[in-house]
Structure 1
Amino acid sequence: MEEETNGFELTIIIPVYNEEGNLERVKEEITSFFQKFPKKAKVLFVNDGSADNSLSIIQRICTGTDRFQYLSFDQNYGLSAAIKAGFDAADTPWVGYIDADLQTTPDDFITLFEYTGDYDLITGVRTGRKDSFVKNMSSKIANGIRRMFTHDGMDDTGCPMKLIRTDMAKKIPMFNGLHRFLPAMILLQKGKIKQVPVKHFPRIAGKSKFNLWNRLLGPLQDCFAYLWMKKKYINYKIGERG
């Protein structure tokens, strides 16, 4: 594994959709994080068909370094597709996920990584959220609905800060909206999950891609899709090879 990954232990997936105003700051904060993180880590930008200058900025950031890499979709496919593409491309033991708006800080991956010896997924729980009242309330309602369907015990699956064992992440059969169900999907694989408080900051640049519809009604529809998939889910372990 060491030769295969060139010593990298963690790939941080950063989905990007029209985030040109945030990407230089992302580079600065991630570069600072690399110096503090006890393991060797890299970033994988997934450009989700941005219509602004995001791709050209990403290309510039990634030039001449193996610490920053990217994939670029031919059109906009959505957040779940971007995360799935990152999982499929990852070649490190652990994969992380953070939003390009930096409302969470990559430095909190240091705290989450402390639990990787005992857990297969560690997810952040945003404390002191710097969002509007409507956004906070709709998020709480959506999380409550999801918990009723999944019984995953998670308080904030929408938090854009997660660490997952890569081999388990690659087994997740993604569909639109399933990024909200990552802890539940690890539980289906008999994995162990934990939530850890992380810091939260206001959005400085760009616009949120979510509204009342896709924060409430969309997740409710996704819950029924999850229940259907749960009944059909195949889980197995190899006992012996010959």
Structure 2
Amino acid sequence: MLPAWSPTGNLLYSYRYAHLGDSPIGILVGLITSPDVWFDTTTVPQKIWYVVALVFALPLSVYALRWLLVGIPTLLANVLSLHGYQYEIQWHYTAYLIVVVVVAGAFGAARVEKLQNRWLKIVSIGISLIVPIVIWIAAAPIGDWAQPHSDQDRMNAMLEMIPPGESVSAWTSFVSHVANREEIYTFPNPFHGVNYGVDDRGLPDPSTIDWVALRWDSFRDFDWVVDNLIDSGDYVVFYEDLPFTLLHRVDSRALE
């Protein structure tokens, strides 16, 4: 579907599997001819933890292996990928697999209920209660990734300085906080195309951007973009409380 409907005619996500091959057929061949590559790719600690956290969040699912097998193609697509979000359990790439595990867990629970061995049933139920608690403490929304950041108040103070309705280019984690406007981009767009449309084509005119909201410790790959904006004289530092910086476009009319 993707190659057929892709605007460029190419498989947009093939680069995530470039270590195996440079085309869908090449990737499949690579799975056969390069077992060392896919083995090394899938056995890194982060991916092992991903599989453990996914399956053992509902341990009773292992009693219904037939249903778990339904998720194997998607699981392989995720753990073979070089795209980090695909093997982090909190992102949308795992949504389908969660459904598979939940369904398998339901069928697994039915099988446990029918066990004749009383102690095996007790142990199975005990594991199904204890293990998920450990998993969810480590990997779910009560884990570190969802905790309020210590700099939250300073970030909010900076973003509140941006007037409603004015155009903004903001660091990824800021966008949802200032999204109630007609024109907003994830930095470094539209000054430098990154993940914008297809092949970063059709970038808007960057001269329309009024504000640039940044967090310096999160975009070191693009600090040259900021340097260019300031050196050009088009933007000035309106507010700075490191690592937070807010740039404002100079009003050329005020300089005339």
Short-chain TM bin: under 0.3
Q: Say which one has the larger Rg.
A: 2
Using the size of structure 2 for normalisation, the TM-score is: 0.25
- Between Structure 1 and Structure 2, which shows a larger proportion of strand residues? 1
- Between Structure 1 and Structure 2, which shows a larger proportion of helix residues? 2
Using the size of structure 1 for normalisation, the TM-score is: 0.26
